[in-house]
Amino acid sequence: MIVVTGAAGFIASCLVTRLNAANFNDIVVVDNFAVERKLINLKGKRLREYVDRNEFFDWLDKNHEEVEFIFHLGARTDTTEQDKAIFDLLNVEYSQKMWRACCQYQLPLVYASSAATYGSGTLGYSDEDALLPLLRPLNPYGDSKNDFDNWAINQPEKPFFWAGLKFFNVYGPNEYHKGRMASVIFHAFEQIRQHGSMTLFRSHNPDYADGEQQRDFVYVKDVVEVCFFLMQHRQNSGIYNLGTGEARTFLDLTLNTFKALDRTADIRFRDTPEDIRDTYQYFTQADMSKLRAIGYDRPFTRLEDGIDDYVRNYLVPGHYL
């Protein structure tokens, strides 16, 4: 059996599809299944069992001998949430409990970290361990992910194989439920469809023109390929960036969304909301050399191609992966 936490969410549900495609069908999905708007992400997938996240460790105590691998992708991911206690509970303490269980039962573990750990990016985007204690995230979500990364690398006892993945700006199918936290591509599609235009955040940094803010946008299909690779690889434990290695502007993103919709571009700007203005990242770009060095050699999807596939084959028809 393969365990996937956060399974009804965006990235994890796409991972379940990738596992099914490789004929892994004994998948135990773990989540808070009371959030009904996410459940459609699992519709039609071949699954072994649904386990509530609060009951998972009792379940694991009884079933660990049948478990082959754990993908711990469940987390509170709202970057605007300021209640540190929520992140401590779900992103730190729950993950620590997962880590200890994997040590106890000798289970390999891949878990979700985040590029939010890099904060303003003044220290760069290297995923080498030496940088971890120096990072200063810009919000409680980033703090929680960085806190766990630092805790993990300092543990005397570790799973025989483990990997933390610092997801950069992931976009793609199955994010319909994410609301404000959905990708900019999703929001662009919705705005263009409803209004014929797209409004981007104005730059409040003199080093960047409006729309020239840059992020490393990575297609979810590439993200799950890396997860699948690590499940088969099971060596070279550590924390890895997961982006494309190429920063692109929000204008690039928006213009390609208009193109995929066969619409004439109409881009407008508004001030960045004050509740996120001070914690806004103007540039992110993953250093991907560490993952490449352990043998991951698949090319990452170009932004143009990823947007075209996402818009035409998923967003327009309302399909799921």
Question: Tokens at residue 128, please?
Answer: 């080498």
Written as one letter, the residue type at 259 is K
Question: Any idea what DSSP says for residue 160?
Answer: S
Q: Which two tokens stand for residue 78?
A: 């709202």
- Binding residue numbers for NADP(+): 10-11, 31-32, 38, 53, 73-77, 145, 170, 178
Instruction: Give yes or no for a contact between 73 and 231, defined as CB atoms under 8 angstroms apart.
Output: no
Q: What is the DSSP letter of 112?
A: E
CA-based angle 223:229:232, to the nearest 5?
145
Spatial distance between the Cα atoms of 152 and 145, rounded to a whole number of angstroms: 11
List, by residue number, the catalytic residues.
141, 178
Among 144, 165, 163, 146, which Cα is nearest to 89's? 144
* Chain CA centroid to CA 41, Å: 15
In single-letter form, the type of residue at position 309 comes to: D
Mark the binding-site residues for substrate, compressed into ranges: 169, 180, 187, 201-204, 215, 280
- Annotated binding-site residue numbers: 10-11, 31-32, 38, 53, 73-77, 145, 169-170, 178, 180, 187, 201-204, 215, 280
Alpha-helix residue ranges (DSSP H) falling in the chain? 10-21, 56-63, 84-87, 94-105, 140-153, 184-195, 220-233, 250-260, 274-277, 289-293, 303-310
What is the gyration radius of the CA atoms in the chain, in angstroms? 19
- Please give the DSSP secondary-structure letter assigned to residue 283: B
Give the whole-angstrom CA distance, residue 21 versus residue 192. 33
- The Cα–Cα gap between 300 and 180 comes to 26
